[in-house]
């Protein structure tokens, strides 16, 4: 844009430490240029026209976990459903997962409570320092002239399932601890079921500690006066092994399926599971990691995402396609990598690429 100083606007916005919520509170009629995405970027889809975006609803596979731990016959059915969904969709909905509805509602309410505090209460947590394990920011772009997204996020990183509770904001401390406790339990179940869905012993993924840490993202998407000009979260696939998402009643998640952007309707009490890039790589493409995004809306929305990543010990070791899944007919499709190396490559290319997988593909 002629006469537009991207760096200046970035600095001015960042210095407020108020996040996107601060802009929404100012009751702007137009969003700042920093948040305006090109029409080509917003509608970068070979099938949908801009006027169609969001019209298509997704019949996402729904998997019922009821009885999965007690009934062997039921478990085999669930394993097959996961295998099919992870192979064909990369996403699936989970019901009867064992997390109480009141715990889920409390976590969503606590996310809203934190983000709707006065700016002065949130400022001590505002940071872009990647080494901080609890921080609040707007996940601003790192590449010059990239547009920002209409979202604030409180990130809480549990390395090896550990994080000092006193580091958590008091506004959501109790709820985060309770929710993460249930997420750890569900992760162990998911690790077993995903292992079995790959035809491996049920303890395989647990043994390689590829999901032993968790980054909890408490997302807040304020009301947007011009939702057609920006995005809540840009098109991407996750740099994780597995992600579990809880949406509120508003929804807003879209996934790219068969070259179409499809809405994923909210369903109270359900979780959305999606396969991460790293799971696709170690499964040698048996499971797929799918691009998704979040649309900006004229109403406020919250969600909570649990991103499962390796233990500290496993972060120091290379990952590669699981040898038991390889053969002469099915050779390795990817080279080995370190987890932090993969994430750093993606961050340096953010908004230039939607995934780092091609960088590790064997030519």
Q: Which residue has the higher pLDDT, 346 or 61?
A: 61
We report the CATH number of the domain holding residue 65 as 2.60.120.330
pLDDT value at 3 more than 80: no
Of all residues in the chain, the percent with pLDDT exceeding 90 is: 80
State the burial class of residue 119 (Cβ atoms within 10 Å of its Cβ: 0-12, 13-18, 19+): middle
Q: State mean pLDDT over 262-273.
A: 95
pLDDT value at 41 more than 60: yes
Mean pLDDT of the chain: 91
Hey, which of 4-13, 292-301, 343-352 has the most confident mean pLDDT?
A: 292-301
Q: What is the pLDDT of residues 96-127, one digit of tens each?
A: 999 999 999 999 999 999 999 999 999 999 99
HEC per residue, the chain: CCCCCHHHHHHHHHHHCCHHHHHHHCCCCCCCHHHCCCHHHHCCCCCCCHHHCCCCECCCCEEECCCCCCCHHHHHHHHHHHHHHHHHCCEEEEECCCCCHHHHHHHHHHHHHHHCCCHHHHHHHECCCCCCCEEEECCCCCCCCCCCCCCEEEEEEEECCECCHHHCCCCCHHHHHHHHHHHHHHHHHHHHHHHHHCCCCCCHHHHCCCCCEEEEEEEEECCCCCHHHCEEEEEECCCCCEEEEEECCCCCEEEEECCEEEECCCCCCCEEEEECHHHHHHCCCCCCCCCEEEECCCCCEEEEEEEEECCHHHHCCCECCCHHHCCCCCCCCECCECHHHHHHHHHHHECCECCCHHHHECC
Q: State mean pLDDT over 182-202.
A: 98
Note the pLDDT of residue 141.
85
Kindly list the distances between the CA atom of residue 44 and the CA atoms of 38, 124, 168, 254, 288, in Å, as whole numbers in the listed order: 10, 38, 38, 13, 21
Report d(CA 306, CA 97) in Å as an integer.
15
Note the pLDDT of residue 342.
84
How many Å is the Cα radius of gyration of the chain?
20
pLDDT value at 273 more than 90: yes
pTM for the whole thing?
Answer: 0.93
Note the pLDDT of residue 348.
66
Q: pLDDT category, 47, cuts 50, 70, 90? A: very low
Q: Is residue 74 part of a domain?
A: yes
Q: Is residue 1 part of a domain?
A: no
Note the pLDDT of residue 57.
63
Q: Is residue 351 part of a domain?
A: yes
pLDDT value at 50 more than 60: no
Q: Which residue has the higher pLDDT, 56 or 19?
A: 19
Report d(CA 180, CA 65) in Å as an integer.
19
Report d(CA 244, CA 272) in Å as an integer.
6
Q: State mean pLDDT over 15-22.
A: 96
Q: pLDDT category, 55, cuts 50, 70, 90? A: very low
Q: State mean pLDDT over 279-290.
A: 97
8 Å CB contact between 330 and 350:
no
Q: State mean pLDDT over 299-305.
A: 97
Q: What is the pLDDT of residues 119-158, one digit of tens each?
A: 999 999 999 998 999 999 998 887 778 899 999 999 999 9
Note the pLDDT of residue 345.
74
Q: Which domain holds residue 12?
A: 6-359
Q: What is the pLDDT of residues 194-206, one digit of tens each?
A: 999 999 999 999 9
Q: pLDDT category, 58, cuts 50, 70, 90? A: low
pLDDT value at 46 more than 50: no
Q: State mean pLDDT over 47-73.
A: 71
Q: How many domains does the chain have?
A: 1
Report d(CA 68, CA 76) in Å as an integer.
8
Report d(CA 362, CA 345) in Å as an integer.
16
Q: State mean pLDDT over 211-234.
A: 96
By mean pLDDT, which of 3-7, 51-55, 108-112, 358-362 is the weakest?
51-55
pLDDT value at 349 more than 70: no
Q: Is residue 63 part of a domain?
A: yes
Which residues, 6 or more positions from 8, have their beta carbon under 8 angstroms from its beta carbon?
none
Note the pLDDT of residue 54.
45
């Amino acid at each position: 844009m002629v006469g537009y100083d991207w760096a200046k606007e970035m600095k001015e916005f960042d210095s407020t430490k108020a996040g996107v919520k601060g802009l929404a509170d100012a009751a702007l009629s137009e969003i700042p240029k920093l948040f305006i995405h090109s029409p080509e970027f917003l509608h970068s889809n070979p099938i949908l026209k801009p006027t169609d975006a969001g019209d298509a609803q997704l019949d996402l596979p729904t998997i019922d976990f009821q009885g999965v731990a007690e009934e062997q016959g039921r478990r085999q059915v669930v394993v097959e459903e996961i295998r099919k969904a992870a192979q064909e969709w990369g996403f699936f909905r989970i019901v009867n997962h064992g997390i109480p509805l009141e715990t889920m509602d409390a976590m969503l309410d606590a996310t809203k409570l934190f983000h709707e505090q006065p700016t002065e209460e949130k400022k001590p947590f505002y940071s872009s320092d990647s080494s901080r394990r609890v921080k609040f920011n707007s996940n601003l772009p790192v590449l010059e002239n990239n547009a920002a997204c209409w979202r604030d996020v409180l990130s809480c990183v549990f390395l090896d399932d550990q994080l000092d509770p006193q580091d958590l904001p008091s506004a959501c401390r109790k709820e985060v601890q309770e929710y993460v406790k249930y997420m750890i339990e569900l992760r162990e179940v998911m690790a077993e079921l995903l292992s079995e869905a790959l035809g491996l012993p049920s303890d395989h993924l647990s043994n390689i500690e590829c999901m032993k840490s968790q980054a909890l993202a408490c997302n807040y998407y304020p009301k947007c006066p011009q939702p057609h000009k920006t995005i809540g979260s840009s098109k991407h696939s996750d740099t994780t092994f597995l992600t579990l998402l809880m949406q509120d009643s508003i929804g807003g998640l879209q996934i790219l399926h068969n070259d179409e952007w499809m809405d994923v309707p909210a369903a109270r009490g359900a979780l959305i599971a999606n396969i991460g890039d790293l799971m696709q790589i170690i499964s040698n493409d048996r499971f797929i990691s799918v691009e998704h995004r979040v649309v900006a809306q004229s109403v406020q929305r919250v969600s909570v995402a649990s991103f499962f990543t390796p233990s500290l010990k496993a972060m120091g070791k290379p990952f590669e396609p699981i040898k038991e899944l390889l053969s002469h007919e099915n050779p390795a499709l990817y080279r080995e990598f370190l987890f932090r190396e993969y994430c750093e490559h993606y961050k340096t290319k953010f908004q230039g690429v939607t995934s780092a997988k091609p960088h590790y593909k064997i030519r």
